[in-house]
Amino acid sequence: MTTRIGYIGLGNMGAPMALRLLDHIGSLSVLDTNPDAVTPFIEAGARPVSNAAELASVSDIVCVTVLDDAQVRDVVAGPDGLLSTAKPGTVIAVHSTISDTTALDLETQCASHGVEFVDAPVSGGAAGAKKAALAVMVGASDEAFEKIREPFRAFAALVVHAGPVGAGTRMKLARNLLHFVSFTAATEAQRLAEAAGIDITELGKVVRHTDSITGGAGSIMWRDNTSALEPDDSWFPIFSHVRALGEKDLALAMALGDRLDVDLPLATRALAGLGPGLGVGIGDIARTHSMEEQP
């Protein structure tokens, strides 16, 4: 039997994801509070429904991409929510970035109806969805993951089973922590460059170009834990080299900031934390800098 799929939330992210699903499976039931968002799906052959309860009654898997925790709770467990009609064995997959505690709470509510809850936030933005290039981080039981893995490939190039319910959200939060901390670091680098008379639009071109080659921060994320490395570990010389280069360049940037009177708090923190974070301990440059900072 063909798996019946429903989609709630046809906004900037949900619409391209749902379109990919419709193209992939040839049928889809859809729901959005904005009638204009539904129209192109009807024209493409999708089935519109009036509320979440109706959607659940005609779906084996329901994908949810709404704004926040409150909206997720409402469409899943509200008066006319999915659980009011979902049959046992139905999978409810939430792509919204919510709290992991919300995911666990909804898992419990869904389990009381024999329904599988899946937290499946995505990374890659609307552009990634349009290209079917998203990464999906899935928190689910093994059984539920097997049900959703193939349909998710309609809009994703990478589908990762992060662990049980809640794990997908925790992975997304860690990923976005890196994302927005790096944005903050980018603003710090722009302030330094601007103070030094550098065209920051040209700097942006350089950053995007080189990150597309090196992989940016992801290029160091190969280890399976964050504990300190033993000297005979194969990663030790590699990350020691990274530490040496990083400490040298951070110290030079901080010296430039001192001369230009530009405060660089993230650079200061990075100099102290780079080596320990890599698992190879603090390096000579960072150690010397720390001693110089002490009164």
Domain holding 217: CATH number? Answer: 1.10.1040.10
Question: Does residue 132 sit in the same domain as residue 210?
Answer: no
At residue 225, the pLDDT reads 95
Of the pLDDT bands very low, low, confident and very high (cuts 50, 70, 90), residue 65 is very high
Q: Are strands 134-139 and 122-123 parallel, antiparallel or unpaired?
A: antiparallel
Tell me which residue has tokens 């937290």.
119
Distance, in Å, from the CA atom of 268 to the CA atom of 292, rounded to the nearest integer, reads 13
User: What is the average pLDDT across 23-30?
Assistant: 94
User: What is the average pLDDT across 203-231?
Assistant: 95
Question: Does residue 90 sit in the same domain as residue 233?
Answer: no
Tell me which residue has tokens 């020691």.
240
Distance, in Å, from the CA atom of 92 to the CA atom of 76, rounded to the nearest integer, reads 8
Residue 161 pLDDT exceeds 70 = yes
Domain that holds residue 109: 5-164
User: What is the average pLDDT across 116-122?
Assistant: 98
Question: Does residue 130 sit in the same domain as residue 176?
Answer: no
At residue 226, the pLDDT reads 95
Question: Does residue 189 sit in the same domain as residue 67?
Answer: no
Residue 84 pLDDT exceeds 90 = yes
Indicate the residue among 113, 130, 164 that finishes a domain: 164
Of the pLDDT bands very low, low, confident and very high (cuts 50, 70, 90), residue 204 is very high
Residue 247's alpha-carbon distances to 132, 227, 272, 291, 293, in angstroms, are 39, 20, 9, 15, 16
User: What is the average pLDDT across 19-27?
Assistant: 94
Share of the chain above pLDDT 90, in %: 97
Asked if residue 30 lies in contact with residue 6, where contact means CB atoms within 8 angstroms, the answer is yes
Asked if residue 264 lies in contact with residue 228, where contact means CB atoms within 8 angstroms, the answer is no
Structure tokens at 234: 């194969």
Active site annotation includes 130: no
Per-residue b or e along 120-140, where b marks 16 or more CB atoms closer than 10 Å to that residue's CB: bbbbbeeebbbebebbbbbbb
Indicate the residue among 164, 183, 204 that finishes a domain: 164
Asked if residue 120 lies in contact with residue 91, where contact means CB atoms within 8 angstroms, the answer is no
User: What is the average pLDDT across 3-17?
Assistant: 97
Residue 281's alpha-carbon distances to 69, 245, 266, 286, in angstroms, are 40, 14, 19, 10
Indicate the residue among 109, 133, 164 that finishes a domain: 164
Mean pLDDT, the chain, rounded, equals: 96
At residue 165, the pLDDT reads 98
Question: pTM for the complete prediction?
Answer: 0.91
Share of the chain above pLDDT 70, in %: 99
User: What is the average pLDDT across 90-117?
Assistant: 97
Q: How many domains does the chain have?
A: 2
At residue 290, the pLDDT reads 84
- Collect all residues with Cβ–Cβ distance below 8 Å to 280 and sequence separation of at least 6: 228, 229, 236, 239, 240, 243
At residue 295, the pLDDT reads 60
Question: Does residue 33 sit in the same domain as residue 147?
Answer: yes
Question: Does residue 9 sit in the same domain as residue 148?
Answer: yes
At residue 291, the pLDDT reads 82
Distance, in Å, from the CA atom of 100 to the CA atom of 169, rounded to the nearest integer, reads 6
Q: Find the catalytic residue in 130, 172, 205, 248.
A: 172
Tell me which residue has tokens 């903050």.
184
Structure tokens at 194: 């601007």
Asked if residue 16 lies in contact with residue 130, where contact means CB atoms within 8 angstroms, the answer is yes
Residue 72 pLDDT exceeds 80 = yes
At residue 293, the pLDDT reads 74
Question: Does residue 160 sit in the same domain as residue 176?
Answer: no
User: What is the average pLDDT across 92-107?
Assistant: 97
Of the pLDDT bands very low, low, confident and very high (cuts 50, 70, 90), residue 239 is very high
Domain holding 150: CATH number? Answer: 3.40.50.720
